Copies of this chain bind each other. A is one copy, B any other.
Amino acid sequence: MEFSEYFPVWGSMTPQQQQTISASLVSRTVKKGAVLHSGGAGCTGLLLIKTGQLRAFILSKEGREVTLYRLFDRDICLFSASCIMRSIQFDVTISAEKDTQLWVLPSDVYKQMMEQSACVANYTSEIMASRFSEVMWLMEQVMWNSMDRRVAAFLLEEAAIQAADRLPITHESIANHLGTHREVVTRILRYLQSEGMVRLTRGAVELTDRAKLETLGSE
């Protein structure tokens, strides 16, 4: 597949602009676990995912993490190119959750396209609005929902992403997604197990009663 088929506003660009983009695109393959963009450290560029999965998260001074959102096939990662807008005043870390193939478009080239084309500029706004919506969903979760509901919602989301009921995930990793401590997650998972919603095995959590988890997660 070509970049033109992945980039929704390609058709709105002039041949000259298309040529500039094609000439500056870089294909990259990154291994699961690799960090693609690290907080305030420079401007990596716009990332467009061919296949794979990325995670955007924030880090506390003490190294605690909270997942903001995930990016999948055909998604665009804007905050790895945060220097395209001076008002983006926060640091996001991007890592690969699966082996991922992607294109990198240098920030200055993209910025130039935004300045030339209302269509590209509005598309960029839509991407940002979409990430903003995900962060607002998280904000509501954090503000109004107790951690047991957030764990239930996380397990269901994870099961949907992996299309499986058995999730090979550690308690530590769940804690890092949700911005809490491993001990808290372990206590909640044991409670969920005692209620028949999950089964805990070494290195995995198995969903055994989705309906009950859904009721808890959306309460």
* Chain A residues near B (Cβ < 8 Å): 58, 60-62, 64, 66, 85-90, 114-118, 120-122, 124-133, 135-140, 142-144, 179
Contacts and interface: CB of A to CB of B under 8 A. Distances in A.
A60 B121 CA distance: 33
Q: Say what secondary structure dominates the interface of chain A.
A: helix
Copies of this chain, tallied across the complex: 2
B142 A139 contact: yes
Nearest to A132: B132
18 contacts: A60-B143, A60-B144, A61-B144, A64-B143, A85-B126, A87-B126, A87-B129, A87-B132, A89-B133, A90-B132, A90-B133, A90-B136, A115-B122, A116-B118, A118-B121, A121-B122, A135-B135, A142-B142
A158 B208 CA distance: 49
A179 B143 CA distance: 7
A120 B117 CA distance: 11
A4 B128 CA distance: 27
Contact of A121 (B121, B127, B136, B139): B121
A136 B58 contact: yes
